[in-house]
Structure 1
Amino acid sequence: MDDNVEDCPVCLITFDDTLRRPRTLPCGHTHCTPCINELEEEQEVITCPTCRTSHALPETGQFPISYITEAFIKKMRGLASVPLKAGKELTALAPVTQPAPRPTAGLSRKTQSLLQDQEAKILAAIRSCQEEQRQLADYLTTLGGWGGRQQRLEDELQTLMDQSKGAREVISREESRVEGRKEKVRQREEALHAALETLLTPATRQEAYEVIENADQLLVEVEEEEEEEREAVIPDVHVVTTVARMANSSRAVLQAATSAATQTAMEAAVTTPAAAMDSTLLAPFAAAAERLAPPLKAEELLRLTQRARGLVKAGLILAVQDVEGQTRHARISLQHGRLHLHSLQAPPPPPHALILQMGEVMPASPPCEAFLDLAWPGSAARRVVVSLVRDTPLGRHFVLLCSGQRGACYANTRLFEFQPLH
């Protein structure tokens, strides 16, 4: 590890400034972002793979990037790509085949200079090809990791299906047993009703004694059957235990499937250019998350659990509310470890989004913070954050202005009348 400081000590892959950015733990050791994310998947406290020191996750959800390491790597790459004089290359570009020395007799200095310039351009193009091949190789490694993770998930799902089949067979046998017992009880009840009717029919003493004797014999048989049935307890403890264990296993596997789908979507967002990131790319992962995940609760979002943080970063959580008879939705973003609820918009939410009601995530009244993204023609948008410290009519009015809960626009309206400060 000391000889290759530009490589992650866990996966032994070179750091870069996109997917495998170096991140430094509080103990001082540096690892790449995917290795840190794998440590964060299971628990809120992670252990450094190098020194085994435990660290709590920061409030921002990510450990800081080691910009010194990035700058060092960029500097090393820059030195490796600078051509020496007389057309010679540094030893770091050994794979680039150097052209044989050209004969200089009979060539003017201008011609030699043109040849050297062209040689430099070709060598730069070769280095560009090498860099692209390195990036593609890194991406293939990432794809291999995704494929391995999905294979493990498929194996777990197959095991879950086998266990579920066994549990269904146990339930089916228990249903047959209960149905049989129910039928016996029904027949016993019919026999008792018939015996009750015969007690009303005897006309002589002899007939009465016979009816009573038959009733006594029936009651003895009923008591024996009830004694046998008491030994066969309902519900069966084994069946209840099996079903409960299967339910817990199913929830655990489904949670793992949701986390895997969300993490894959997030990693795809990192490795894909921003222009190509749209709902088409995220839809398969979002659809999988929607089918497999338990419903997201507002408490889970407000506590910013690992699952909620991943869904927010992937843009899969929306707040909705009916405004003027039309359902509007607001996106939720995460910046600097804090949730930001944006204003309501008219277009319908995408079908793969996880929906929460506006009232579940919106504070009912101040104190709270509100923000406005303001822009003028010819200038970039700037954010203004307003702290509302008291529950006043003006504060509630301002919250409605930011969220759009009373309408789509407050253009050409007056926010408040001037009042002296108290």
Structure 2
Amino acid sequence: MMDDSKPEECKVCFINYDEELHRPRTLPCGHTFCSQCIKDTIKNGQLKCPSCRVVHSATAATQFPISYGMEALLKKFRNMQVTSVGPESPKSGQDHTRGIGKKLQSVVQEQKSSISNLIRKCDAVLSQLGKYQGQVRDWKTQHHQLQNKLYDLVEQNKVALELLKQEDTSVVNMTTEGGAGKKQLQTMLDCLDTVTTIQEVDTTCDEADQYSVQAEDWIQKCQELFPNFIIAGTSVKLQENIKKALDMMTRETVTTDVPVLLEDSGSTVMEKVEKITGDIHLKLTVDHLRGMSKAVKRLVEAGLVLGVHQNQDDLRYSRITLQDGQLYLHVLQHQPPPPTHAHTIQVMEVMEEMELSSSRVFLDLTWPGSTRGRLHIQLNTNNTSLARQFMLLCTGQHPSGSSFLNTKLLEVMEKGEPGECVRGGDYQHNDGRGGRSLLSHQNYQRQESGSAGAVWSWSEPWSSYSAQFVISTRERTGRGKWPYVFGEVVSGLDVVRAAVNHSDITEVTVVDCGVVLAL
């Protein structure tokens, strides 16, 4: 049983507590020991209380709080001892600063308080570092386990290679044997062409029969031996497993600049660790995009935010980018699955937040000898059905997956004259023969315009060409206006005019399209 008659000393090393190596620390079970003894007692992440034998999880002595009450009691105890020495000793509550003025004493006390606060902060950080060290060691253990599994895979691959080497040798031997047999049969065939007597015929036929039996046996043996189902099955299955592992490793290679949603520099070490592990699996929402915090902005700028759209077995992804302070949802495409540290959001959720009245789509055009140019088109709510159809073809949301991506402009009409315009949008045949309607257009209302920048349907909304669009580049004066107008170019009309002046309009291609996100 431990002696409690000397509270000023550690019950393990019997050294008096101090403010350095032997600071008193209290375990969760309530017993107090010095920092050095606690450090020496920790083994394999555990500490057994020397007093009650209760086991505590610990990796460092700093995980346990300092007993400030014990320190205060010992300090008072020491002051009492000094007072009892004689009349020259300072009174209780006084120290060696008694000889200085009250103002200086105040400065000293303030400095002592500041240092004490800093010590407590150091203890808190040391405690966090102790916990983080435990987390780091857990991660190391997990990596070692994964490494062992990779080694197992490598060993399995070595075994498979050895089996395939044996199989290759068997195939070579059988090929050599079969080649020799074939050569003998060829010789017999030549001999049968030169026989002249009954004896030669009998002898040659007997010999040919013998070689024929050997050839039949060889063929039967090949059928029985090859392929070796165990070797072939092992090889194919192992190749698939290794390819999957390598593919995942290639897609998810960890880089030091992968953004993580860490914004609060005042968080503790372990709070940030929890933030990292949590943000990797964060489910991004429309609210995150709408709020556009610095962390989300970093994710978007790094290309780690994607829209996802699934229709039955058809899975497609859409890039979400940030340019000039504006969010863009690009056309859906079949792409490799994103790495797990990327964040996805349902395209439908994003589009549900969009009002057609505020919807603005974009087309990126390019042609030989030019740089890519972007035009923005504001959709017109007076022609709802045609506007919705145009948006579907910009985003690729329609179940058919149809879009304007990689379509070309088809012709320039009235070039150089008032009413100049350019036609495009044949998503079916890309030559002007297609562009059937994707919607019923029951809500169609006729809308006319003669202004430059008007965007209108090439034919009646109910025709088989209504998805083809026309963009006017010059105002139409003195004649009737264009019908079936559903949008207006609000920026980038100069790009279309430059395309019209290109020598071959069919070389102008829509290389990207999508919608501007007004969340």
TM-score range, shorter chain: 0.3 to 0.5
Give 1 or 2: higher strand fraction: 2
TM-score scaled to structure 1, two decimals? 0.45
User: Of the two structures, which has the highest relative contact order with CA contacts closer than 8 Å and spacing of 6 or more?
Assistant: 2
Give 1 or 2: higher helix fraction: 1
Instruction: Give the structure with higher Rg (CA).
Output: 2
